[in-house]
Amino acid sequence: MSENLIISNPCEIHLNLCAILSQLGQHEKALSHAMKALILIQDELLEICNGDVDSSESRQTVMIIALHNIAVEYEYLKQYQSALMTY
């Protein structure tokens, strides 16, 4: 195993974990990963704010996916007000 493992898209990894955990019925853990993804993508968008518009738009799409996943997990957890506010 390489000592220099580089994770190029940690946000997407968290979104994938969210999807898997949600399918397994582990909605609290899924919510946690969706929230981590949102934090990562927001940080990334702040860094490229003045940069490439095309890159920024594609990353904004990822942020929308993270927000949607958060809202869905809130629904599974019967936290309807939080889900509504997130949508």
What's the CA gap between 62 and 5, in Å, rounded? Answer: 23
- The whole-number pLDDT of residue 5 equals 58
Would you say residue 56 has pLDDT above 70? yes
> To 5 degrees, how large is the angle CA 24–CA 30–CA 36?
155
Would you say residue 54 has pLDDT above 90? no
Q: Could you read off the pLDDT of 17-51 as tens digits, one per residue?
A: 999 999 999 999 999 999 999 999 999 888 877 66
What's the CA gap between 33 and 22, in Å, rounded? Answer: 10
- The whole-number pLDDT of residue 3 equals 64
- The whole-number pLDDT of residue 67 equals 98
Among the listed residues 14, 10, 2, the one whose alpha carbon sits nearest the alpha carbon of residue 69: 14
Which run of H or E residues covers position 77? Answer: none
Which of the two residues, 3 and 58, has the higher pLDDT score?
A: 58
